[in-house]
Amino acid sequence: MSTDLMREPLTAQVHRAIISYIDEARLAPGDALPSTAALSERFGVSRPVIREALSALAALGLIELSNGRNAVVRQLDSHLVALFLSRAIRTSPEPLTTLMELRAPLEIEAALLAASKSTASQRADLVSLEKAMRDAVGDAKTYIELDLELHRQIALSSSNPALLGVTEAVRGLVFESMIRLRAHREAEGLVGAEHAEHAHIVEAIVAGEPAAAAEAMRVHMDRTALLVHAVEAETASRLLNQPVI
């Protein structure tokens, strides 16, 4: 056993071990874990330690506990991923850039997959969304909400649940960044240019052209990243020039 692991509290070690067991055993939502006695024997620790670790997992929403029954794996949602990503991104020196570096490759892959895997119904939804966005270009709040939904629908159309999960997990952070980017676009007279990028993405997905869809999304992400750098540079400049009280 490593020195670092030995310094880690026993309950925390068991907590991680149970998570690994759930993953390795491929337990699905609704599946029961072994009994407390069986887990105690498996991990070589006392039953109180097992119960404490299970309580911690229940508090995180990974399992469900009930009297007289073994713990049951719960249906996972994106809130744990969202919490981790939010803390990691918000504590970064350049949070918007960190968010873009996470999103860009995932959004590009989602567009590529959507072009090859989306259904006729999903493509029709994308066309409707793009039209609604075009009509709402001058309405910042509505456009941002539709923009978020477009990216979610592309992730949904990719048929990749992990891509969709991460997209939904960072939705709040992306909404905040879009508000700041919209203000920058308005100040620089750039409103509307982003919609042409969105239209190219949708056009390629609907045409069933994966390479073109990926390239259109890459262009959109690259241009958005340039705006992100400009916004963060402005923020850094303001902070640097604030008077010291």
For residue 238, the model assigns a pLDDT of: 72
Tell me the pTM.
0.76
Backbone region of residue 105 per phi and psi (left: phi > 0; alpha: psi in -120 to 50; beta: other values): alpha
Label residue 34 exposed, middle or buried (CB < 10 Å: 0-12, 13-18, 19+): middle
For residue 236, the model assigns a pLDDT of: 75
For residue 197, the model assigns a pLDDT of: 97
DSSP state of 8: S
For residue 83, the model assigns a pLDDT of: 82
The two structure tokens encoding residue 164: 């969709």
Under-50 pLDDT residues of the chain: 1-6, 244
For residue 4, the model assigns a pLDDT of: 40
Q: Provide the b/e sequence for 190-220 (b: ≥16 CB within 10 Å).
A: ebeebbebbebbbbbbbeebbebbbbbbbeb
For residue 82, the model assigns a pLDDT of: 84
Rounded to whole angstroms, the Cα distance separating 152 from 168 reads: 7
The beta strands (E) that lie in the chain are given as 63-64, 72-73
